[in-house]
Amino acid sequence: MGRILVAYGSSEGQTAAIADRIGDVLADAGHDPLVISTKHPPPEIDIGRYDGVVVAASVHMGDHQPDAVSFVRENLDALERVPSAFVSVSLTAATGDTDADRTTEAYVEGFLEETGWSPTRTHVVAGALKYRDYGLLTRFIVRRIAGKEGLATDTSRDHEYTDWDDLEAFVREFATVVDDHSSSAQ
Ligand SMILES: Cc1cc2nc3c(=O)[nH]c(=O)nc-3n(C[C@H](O)[C@H](O)[C@H](O)COP(=O)(O)O)c2cc1C
């Protein structure tokens, strides 16, 4: 059993839900997870005391949350010492064609370049369209983008594209990476 930190950046809440699910799967796998927001990390947190770290963040206008970028930059040394994973959440991931794969890959690469981080694993997850939470202008802009991408344009409700089974499989695999690392360190 290891202590695993799950830190997330989220603007409309989908990545927060994804981080909670990551925490649940890690707990089911026998680990001891702590889920925190990169916007307000607890000041007393000591990343060096964790056996593994997952950072999840979502894409807005091509970039992940600046607070997630800062969190990784500030904790780079500790992150590089243990198994770590970066989870990138976007709507492009929901479209699933070759162009989309290139774009989501570029989102991940952009985050890693900006932070200087080399995580053990990376994973791309489709997010959600939360039309009911957006202000008028955002709803208009996102609806246009969604239409071009072949995604839902019915703004009277929210649309979730996250593949929870795929996410859970990724987290279970990461849990074994932490197990292997912890047992080889003993
Ligand atoms: C204003 C805005 C801009 C967005 N820009 C992008 C983008 O450039 N590329 C993309 O793939 N998804 C984009 N998205 C989709 C988000 O990544 C998706 O809604 C995700 O679920 C948001 O996660 P969060 O709720 O944790 O913030 C955008 C969403 C909004 C509201």
List of long-range contacts for 63-66, beta carbons under 8 Å, 24+ apart: 63/110, 64/9, 64/88, 64/107, 64/110, 64/111, 65/9, 65/10, 65/11, 65/38, 65/39
* Nearest one of 20, 62, 56 to 38, comparing CA atoms: 56
Whether 38 lines ligand 1, by a CB cut-off of 6 Å, is no
- pLDDT at 166 (0 to 100): 98
Beta bridge partners of 160: 128
Whether 2 lines ligand 1, by a CB cut-off of 6 Å, is no
Domains in the chain (CATH in brackets) are: 3-127+162-185 (3.40.50.360), 129-161 (no CATH)
Would you say residue 186 has pLDDT above 70?
no
Probe residue for ligand 1, chosen from 91, 99, 137, 167 as the CB with the greatest number of ligand atoms within 8 Å: 91
Probe residue for ligand 1, chosen from 10, 90, 102 as the CB with the greatest number of ligand atoms within 8 Å: 90
Helix (H) or strand (E) holding 146: helix 136-148
What value does the mean pLDDT of the chain take?
Answer: 95
Q: How far is the CA of 44 from the centre of ligand 1 (A)?
A: 30
Give the other-Cβ count within 10 Å of 122's Cβ. Answer: 19
Would you say residue 121 has pLDDT above 90?
yes
Q: How far is the CA of 43 from the centre of ligand 1 (A)?
A: 28
Terminal Cα distance for the chain, rounded? 13
Q: How far is the CA of 134 from the centre of ligand 1 (A)?
A: 11
Whether 55 lines ligand 1, by a CB cut-off of 6 Å, is no
Question: Would you place residue 28 in the very low, low, confident or very high pLDDT band (cuts 50, 70, 90)?
Answer: very high
Would you say residue 176 has pLDDT above 90?
yes
Cα dist from 29 to 81, 124, 147, 156, whole Å: 22, 21, 39, 38
Helix (H) or strand (E) holding 93: helix 92-95
pTM, rounded to two decimals: 0.97
- Contact predicate 113/152, CB 8 Å: no
Query: By CB neighbour count within 10 A (0-12 exposed, 13-18 middle, 19+ buried), where does 70 fall?
Result: middle
Question: Would you place residue 110 in the very low, low, confident or very high pLDDT band (cuts 50, 70, 90)?
Answer: very high
pLDDT tens sequence across 64-94:
999 999 999 999 999 999 999 999 999 999 9
Locate the ligand 1 atom nearest the alpha carbon of residue 8 and give its number: 26
Whether 151 lines ligand 1, by a CB cut-off of 6 Å, is no
